[in-house]
Structure 1
């Protein structure tokens, strides 16, 4: 299954692209974003194999997002969707090895054809993409593991990085930086005063292993202290804020600022405390409220969607089905409404 991230600031166009992708066997949209920064955050959390992005975004253009992906040598195929036939943009896209450059409005047939033409590249990225997914799964589940498991599992990831069949030195260095960066963020999330030692450039397997083990030792030491201190109150306060603002579109950066933490630290801290990402947790709160409202037969489904902060009805339907495995209309029918 190929995971897809769609970055488009116009809700109707984003909805249309998502629906087109979902019609293809073997492809699933696992993330949606309306800006470059939100897209980049989701790239580093979801590790999609395919990115479909608009060029013109509110905070930066889609080429900036693709540039970051290329800079870190991430195994992601990129398809650009643009409202303008802009030759300089197309030239830049070619230099960034963009797979396809499509002009709006795009048809389902056109998008499907462009994705099919990208299949060989997608297949070649399967192994490194799985490595990134394994890294993320390890980081997300760190609080569940005892110390011996932590070191055993991270050693397997390190061996996979250095044992990659691609032999791409640049990619290997990038994956080392990603793993070390995520572990350092985990430590800083529970111990903001932490300052990690500088990792030696071009470190070999054993040197990198020692560096990572040092980060894990620090995390183990600090986590036991964190688990009982008032950081739990910070997350509880954030959750309470989210419950009181279900009707708004809250970004992770906004709730992090409310909590007086950086976005990266807050994201890690929130997931370690609740077991879910900020987006998944917030959507679950909204769906719980939506189910309550749907039990009122006098309310239209679009009114329920607006009440819990969704300006796009198709997006609301998608999130509802992801959380409950049924559409809002099917939920009502199950209640006999």
Structure 2
């Protein structure tokens, strides 16, 4: 949902814009201000995506406010509003990277076109990344989730690695769109941020994005499987609740009251992997997180994930990662520049 701040000393104009914006899908008004000084305060509190702002106001003008915002924020889209054309003001607006200089009153059709174009441009710039992840989902092979995220994520970081705000925007957009395309619940689509909060402080590291997106993808796969086979809901709940324990297929079928043959067949049809391979992949995903974010020993991580013998855990890790834990840690340290 794109957030919009309305700044105008005319209360009727503010109200009219508010009403029109609320009719637009994907946009909402996050704040209003009647003066330039108030606008700065509301901006600092809400950090909107878009600002509609009158040029001429008591005290700080719209241009004054735009200058203050541009000193620290080049991303927020600003539209300046005026009751008449002024060539000099228009030139100033261009210098401040103002998106457009609009004449009041703004009609519903003009506003609709403006915001539709904004949304298309915003989403178009990151939609091709979404396509890569949608392809992983559409293949219906859970191994693709485990192995297929690194390459598209690295492409994103190659282009936007120094732009943390853009990274957050891209991954929230991708996560939300993927979840929106899955069957969530009877009440509609869930919000990705409420399901899987994104650590904005760590998102500058590709591995964090990979760990986060794996959870999103796993959720999408599970929702689709449950939509087709509701009996799997209990299976996923049991696995998640016991992921840190030493569990096997027998415990799963006994706890979920389902036959081994039926479970194996429907699970394979949805994930293209066996139940136990799925369990190992989820545990290895968690293991990579532990090795990346902590200094825990192999034995400590193995114990946390329900592997009673660290040697067996190491064999499983090497099977799925094609490298030892030590080799994995070295490669991660090299990527972080701490080797």
TM more than 0.5: no
Which one scores higher on RCO, CA 8 angstroms, separation ≥ 6?
1
TM-score, normalised with respect to structure 2 = 0.38
Q: Which has the larger radius of gyration?
A: 2
TM-score, normalised with respect to structure 1 = 0.38
